[in-house]
Structure 1
Amino acid sequence: MGLLSNRVTRESLKAGDHIYSWRTAYIYAHHGIYIGDDKVIHFTRRGQEVGTGTVLDVLLVSSGPIKSQELCPNCTTSEDGHGVVVSCLNCFLAGGVLYKFEYAVSPALFLAKARGGTCTLAVSDEDEIVVHRAKYLLENGFGCYNLFKKNCEDFAIYCKTGHVVVDEGTIGRSGQAISTIGGSLAAVLSSPLRFVTTNVYGIAVTAVGVYCVSRYAADIGMRSDVVKIQVEDLTRSLAVGLLRVIEPQISMNLAPQSTQIVSQ
């Protein structure tokens, strides 16, 4: 994969790969976990690739692929409506180009990929663990879909890393969300600097810098509000509706203590 594109061939795929495909006009990308045998497990909003329940859906849904009226015999839907489905690779791509999400990239490469949702600083787990998580969530669900807090990219990243964000007030967990929010944030934060420089190029460079810093700090591999949780514990916690972080107790023991996560 090159600096500007993560495009790959079907022949290069292996079970456990995090793949994605951009939709019309590169408005958004749909992400999933390839599990082999030409099948992909991915997270949707009740069968729809995206959705917010607002007027924004008019733009998002219109940019998505046109669904065939005939059901594909190789694809299945979620019977209980939890949104995690398995599709054949052709249906997942929906005529789009195949890309592979990159893990454990260097900070330089991460910042060079200006569009979010293509790579992360976080390290992926072994392929067998990734496939196990995806299949387990296919059977047990991944909670309620949320475009900004829990979308298809978040699902794929969890399957690859086992990491979840425990701060429920945080907006924009995935790279795509950070790109959208970060771009607006960069424009807002850079505007006061017009009093420092009246050069339009200087303001533009500053805006890009703020955007890059926001993406870097919000990446799942850099965040401080991220914990690792087993998929079985995750689904139990989602069923309860609460993830609570137990901070390590201060003691005289100098050995490092890990943060735990439990359900209530």
Structure 2
Amino acid sequence: MGFFSNRVERSEIKAGDHIYTYRAVFAYSHHGIYVGGNKVVHFTHFTPDRETSSSTENSSNSYDGMSKMPSCQTYPDCGFRQPKSGVVLSCLDCFLRNGALYSFEYGVTPTFFLAKVRGGTCTTATSDGPGTVIHRAMYLLQNGFGNYDVFQNNCEDFALYCKTGILTVDKLGIGRSGQASSLVGAPLAALLSSPLKLLIPSPVGVATMTAGMYCMSRYATDIGVRTDIVKVAVEDLSVNLGWMDGLEEEFQEKKASSENKNQVIHVD
């Protein structure tokens, strides 16, 4: 990996790595956790239980615990997923779909993070050990990761959780995804900088201001610096639709406990 690109060769990745590839001519990236054995666990918006009138569609869209997507002829377990779950096990080839392989970076400095103009490539947060990461990914493969949401619970959010165990509390904002924060940050930066156009006569100055606001909005939503986050054990996640409902209460309890520890009691 280098400063300008996170592209890697297959021989460079290790079990527990957060990897991604670009789709639709670099329009967006798809993320997953490499678990070894040429396999990747990732999260999709696929809905396996939807009803269809065609028996052929039913056979390809409904799965039991040991079923697989009929797309890979090399690995029998490629496409494995549980019913009503978007978490899927794929071989590396099917995950990449002929795209290039990239490795997501953890524990980067703020300067390095801001220099990576495109979101969804790195975070200042640190990763847990590979054993813990793989355990989370395989547990979620069996138990699900809730409903897919492009802004609050997407494939990058899944990979970030597997690597860090961190979830966000504010369900009205965006999740942990740097890719989603970039989509939000770009129009927000343009909107915030527009009143300043009257004060900055140079187009270059306006562009610089907009770029600066965009970068800062990205940095402010990075899980390594956010305060509305809580670390949750994978065994504590619920597989029902309200799996995130208790996060805010848990966050407030931990925050109150931390504040109580920091208080100094004076005795007269």
Q: TM-score, normalised by structure 2?
A: 0.82
TM alignment of 1:111-190, pairs within 5 A: 111-171=114-174, 173-190=176-193
Question: How far apart, in 1, do the equivalents of 2:240 and 2:165 lie?
Answer: 14
Change (3 A) 1:77 1:185: same
Deviation at 1:234, TM superposition (A): 1.6
TM alignment of 1:61-100, pairs within 5 A: 71-73=71-73, 74=75, 75-100=78-103
Deviation at 1:172, TM superposition (A): 5.0
Question: How far apart, in 2, do the equivalents of 1:173 and 1:79 lie?
Answer: 24
Q: Specify the alignment match of 1:6 in structure 2.
A: 6
Q: Specify the alignment match of 2:249 in structure 1.
A: 245
Output one character per residue of 1:46-103: Cα deviation in whole Å (capped at 9) or x when no partner. Answer: 269xxxxxxxxxxxxxxxxxxxx96214212324021000000000000000000000
- Give the counterpart letter for 1:142 in structure 2: F
Change (3 A) 1:25 1:240: closer
Deviation at 1:255, TM superposition (A): 2.8
Q: Specify the alignment match of 2:107 in structure 1.
A: 104
- Give the counterpart letter for 2:261 in structure 1: A
Question: How far apart, in 1, do the equivalents of 2:222 and 2:140 lie?
Answer: 23
Question: How far apart, in 1, do the equivalents of 2:87 and 2:124 lie?
Answer: 25
Give SS of 1:30's match. Answer: strand
- Give the counterpart letter for 1:43 in structure 2: F
Question: How far apart, in 1, do the equivalents of 2:200 and 2:112 lie?
Answer: 29
Question: How far apart, in 1, do the equivalents of 2:46 and 2:37 lie?
Answer: 24
Deviation at 1:254, TM superposition (A): 5.9
Farther off after superposition, 71-80 or 183-192:
71-80
Give 4+ residue runs of structure 1 displaced > 6 Å after superposition.
none
Question: How far apart, in 1, do the equivalents of 2:224 and 2:6 lie?
Answer: 19
Change (3 A) 1:131 1:172: closer
Question: How far apart, in 1, do the equivalents of 2:256 and 2:116 lie?
Answer: 41
Asked if structure 2 preserves the Cα contact closer than 8 Å seen for 1:43 and 1:151, the reply is yes
Asked if structure 1 preserves the Cα contact closer than 8 Å seen for 2:144 and 2:239, the reply is no
Give SS of 1:255's match. Answer: helix
Q: Specify the alignment match of 2:234 in structure 1.
A: 231
Deviation at 1:231, TM superposition (A): 0.1
Question: How far apart, in 1, do the equivalents of 2:183 and 2:261 lie?
Answer: 41
- Give the counterpart letter for 2:96 in structure 1: L
Q: Unaligned regions of 5+ residues in structure 1, if any?
A: 49-68, 258-264
Deviation at 1:143, TM superposition (A): 0.1
Question: How far apart, in 2, do the equivalents of 1:227 and 1:250 lie?
Answer: 13
Asked if structure 1 preserves the Cα contact closer than 8 Å seen for 2:167 and 2:176, the reply is no
Asked if structure 2 preserves the Cα contact closer than 8 Å seen for 1:47 and 1:77, the reply is no
- Is the counterpart of residue 38 in structure 1 residue 41 in structure 2? no
- Give the counterpart letter for 1:229 in structure 2: V
Q: Unaligned regions of 5+ residues in structure 2, if any?
A: 49-68, 264-268
Question: How far apart, in 1, do the equivalents of 2:256 and 2:87 lie?
Answer: 40
Change (3 A) 1:254 1:180: closer
Instruction: Determine what percentage of the aligned residue pairs are the same residue.
Output: 53
Q: Which of 211, 214, 235 is equivalent to 1:208?
A: 211
Q: TM-score, normalised by structure 1?
A: 0.84
Deviation at 1:241, TM superposition (A): 5.6
Q: Specify the alignment match of 1:17 in structure 2.
A: 17
Number of equivalenced pairs: 236
Question: How far apart, in 1, do the equivalents of 2:244 and 2:112 lie?
Answer: 37
